[in-house]
Chains A and B, each alone.
Chain A
Amino acid sequence: MTNKTASPWWHHFDSLEHQQETTTFGMWVFLATEVLIFGAIFTGYTVYRSTYTPSFEAASDRLNLLIGAVNTVVLLTSSLTMALAVHAAKLGQTRKVFFRLVLTAVLGLVFLGLKALEYYGDYRDELVPGLAFDPAQWTAPKVHAGQVQLFLVFYYCLTGLHAVHLTIGIIIVAILAWMTRRAAFNSRYYAPVEIWGLYWHFVDLIWIFLLPLLYLIGTRDRWL
Chain B
Amino acid sequence: MKTLTSSIFTLLILTLILPSLAGADDPKARAIMEKVDARDDGDHQTADMKMILIDKNGNQRKRGIRSFSKDMGEDSFRLMFFREPADVRDTGFLTYDYDDPDRDDDQWLYLPALKKTKRIASSDKSGSFMGSDLSYSDMTSRNLDDYDFTLKKEMEVKGHPVWLIESIPRNKKVIKETGYTKSLIFVRQDNYFVIRGINWLKNGGYLKYLDTRTLEQIDGVWVGTEMHITKKKGKKVVHKTELYWNNVRFNQDLADDLFTIRRLEKGL
Do the two shown chains form a genuine complex with each other?
Answer: no
